Structure 1
């Protein structure tokens, strides 16, 4: 069973959203929420692997990274929405983020006197799956004794 949450036309950077999504993909919602809260406190950085031109190195095991606060707060809200959708569907916690996709939205013109500039817009789609630990029962196999018949080999001589 899956729970889906979609946020459309968010005023955040698409490139930052792609990096955050690749950072939390495959993790549980609890773990990703804790990591993103540490990013909001600027204790750990989001590793930039794809859009990393001119991005400086940070402490830890990552090479280049940043602290994208605005995009992180939007994705934290989306995680909460996805968890609420999963609970309404009757899924049991813990949840795993199986898919999270950030894509570029339409770009509107800025309002007012500032011409030649367009707004940043991003769509984000998140799919959660329940992590139920299924107890695998081993089938009881009885040792069967199989009697094998010995085959006699006959020698055939050619004349």
Structure 2
């Protein structure tokens, strides 16, 4: 069955997307990562994922928090290394797709990012079957506006002159 994209306001000229189909990662961890990276600049999202992979900073868990300990500087959080690695590959893929379309890679913002339940696949060779984890992840990036300097800095520069 064909995958139906969940983001309906996709504009092919101003946006780029990447799709990970049936990735072998936890759906719950993917949902938490997606909710923490949504509407963030692409550079910052890559830094957050690299910090989670190297176990420097945890991903905050807001929805699936049962039996999760708190981490320093936040509430409940985890280091989802496998899911973060797969999502980092997708983020880099979306960045490459945006560069191919001619978008400015330094101003990219993650407009839409969602994780959905994948197909049911059973592990073989067991008397009692076990399900494999499968997740579909969709990322849509768009070119944001370049950040302007704050008004406070401009006032200080005017005052110093």
Q: What TM bracket, shorter-length normalisation?
A: 0.7 to 0.9
Following the alignment from structure 1 to structure 2, what is the Cα–Cα distance between the partners of residues 72 and 111? 26
Name which of 45, 50, 54 aligns with 1:32: 45
Structure 2 runs not aligned, ≥5 long: 1-13, 149-161
Q: Alignment partner for residue 79 of structure 1, among 91, 99, 118?
A: 91
Q: Report Cα offsets for 1:130-149 as digits up to 9, x if no partner.
A: 023399xxxxxxxxxxxxxx
- Give aligned pairs, total: 134
Which of structure 1's runs of 4+ aligned residues deviate more than 3 A?
A: 132-135
Aligned to 1:67: 79
The answer to whether the Cα contact below 8 Å between 1:92 and 1:132 also exists between their aligned partners in 2 is no
Q: What whole-Å deviation, never above 9, does each CA across 1:13-63 have from its counterpart, x for those lacking one?
A: 000000000111111111110111111111111111000011001101x11
Distance 1:34 1:128 in 2: 16
Computing the radius of gyration from Cα coordinates, the structure with the larger value is 1
Quote the Cα distance in structure 2 between the aligned partners of 1:44 and 1:114. Answer: 40
- In the superposition, the TM-score normalised over structure 1's length comes to 0.80
Q: Which whole-Å CA distance do the structure 1 matches of 2:45 and 2:84 have between them?
A: 11
Aligned to 2:112: 99
Give the conservation status (yes or no) of the 8 Å contact 1:4–1:126.
Answer: yes
Q: Deviations over 1:112-145 (max 9, x none)?
A: 235321110000000000023399xxxxxxxxxx
- Alpha-carbon separation, structure 2, partners of 1:17 and 1:70: 10
Answer yes or no: is 1:115 the counterpart of 2:118.
no
Structure with greater helix percent: 2
**What are structure 1's unaligned runs of at least 5 residues?**
136-159
TM-score (normalised: structure 2): 0.80
**Equivalent of 1:47, from 27, 45, 60?**
60
User: Is the CA contact 1:45–1:67 (under 8 Å) kept in the aligned structure 2?
Assistant: yes
CA RMSD of aligned residues (A): 1.5
Q: State whether structure 2 residue 20 is matched by structure 1 residue 12.
A: no
